[in-house]
Amino acid sequence: MRTWSDRHLGIGFDQLLILQKSNCLKAKYYYRIINSDGTEVEQCGNGARCIAYYLFIIKKIKKNKICIRTKKRYLYLEYLYKNFMKIDMGKPLFSPCQLPFLNNDIKLYYSIEIDKRIYKISIVSMGNPHCIVQIEDFNDNLIKKIGYKLSIHPLFPKGVNVGFMQVISENKIFLKVYERGVGETKSCGTGACAAVVTGIRNNLLCNTVDVFLSGGQLQVTWRGGLKDTVYMSGEATHVYDGVLKY
């Protein structure tokens, strides 16, 4: 996996998505997500958008909406126009045990210590675990250092994806994400959803938000209720066709 993902040896990737026929009636396809370090994870929003682009554009599926299954949940993929896709990401989960996060209470914010400094975080599961840190300005060295230490913190027994969110206005944020098993990435769909959800829950954002990441822009919508699903929309682009030998 490390050799395949190495951008010096080929096209490279952050994550390998494996698409299979589903064995259940509800979902047409099942897909697995493998990080560049070989670990398998539960969910990937950008991966879902890429899968949607592949199925609707490359495979030329005639329906505008289909259901697929991941390790943790069902996703509904919708073709909007050209290469824009909309993903029904399911409901956000805030209970610490659902990440897991070693705390007994459901709160808007938690305090966690890194290098003798206290950081205020919000947590949410979008099918995979996220913690969000609100910042005033981006510091790349701080993000890599603190992002890594948070991602492996013992309070998160299975690790966590760390999002650093800068709120520009009630409908616009900048975001950088340190993904467990990958490192800092140019874009993270579930991370964008997690940041917007926690921002809405903490009365910082409105119900539809444009998320700007170094790799592009996403739009995330959530009505704010515990039973409300999260919708993520954005582009997907075909880059390369090839064959992997193993």
Residue in 50, 131, 188, 193 annotated catalytic? 188
Segment 134-170, tens digit of pLDDT: 999 888 888 889 999 999 999 999 999 999 999 999 9
* pLDDT above 90 (res 35): no
pLDDT of residue 158: 94
d(CA 97, CA 106): 10
d(CA 192, CA 212): 9
Report the CATH number at residue 13.
3.10.310.10
Domain-terminating residue out of 62, 90, 118: 90
Where is 161: in which H helix or E strand? Answer: strand 161-169
Judged by DSSP in three states, 51 sits in helix
What average pLDDT score do residues 1-18 get? 78
Supply the pTM of this predicted model.
0.87
Residue in 24, 44, 67, 97 annotated catalytic? 44
* pLDDT above 70 (res 178): yes
Q: What angle do CA 78, 22, 236 make, to 5 degrees?
A: 30
User: Is residue 81 domain-shared with residue 190, that is, in the same domain?
Assistant: no
pLDDT of residue 160: 97
pLDDT of residue 165: 97
What average pLDDT score do residues 15-20 get? 88
Within 10 A of 224 (CB to CB), how many other CB atoms are there? Answer: 12
Residues with Cβ within 8 Å of 71's Cβ and at least 6 positions away in sequence, in order, are 32, 33, 40, 41, 42, 43
Residue 192 belongs to domain spanning: 96-234
DSSP 53-90: HIIIIIS--SSSEEEEE-SS-EEEEEEEETTEEEEE--
d(CA 109, CA 162): 14
Segment 64-123, tens digit of pLDDT: 899 998 887 888 999 998 889 999 999 999 999 999 999 999 999 999 999 999 999 999
* pLDDT above 80 (res 29): yes
What average pLDDT score do residues 186-190 get? 89
Segment 55-73, tens digit of pLDDT: 888 877 878 899 998 887 8
Q: Does 100 sit behind a cis peptide bond, omega within 30 degrees of 0 on the bond before it?
A: yes
Label residue 1 by pLDDT band (50, 70, 90): low
67 is catalytic: no
Please say whether the beta carbons of 87 and 77 come within 8 A: yes
User: Is residue 53 domain-shared with residue 172, that is, in the same domain?
Assistant: no
User: Is residue 50 domain-shared with residue 78, that is, in the same domain?
Assistant: yes
How many structural domains comprise the chain?
Answer: 2
pLDDT of residue 7: 75
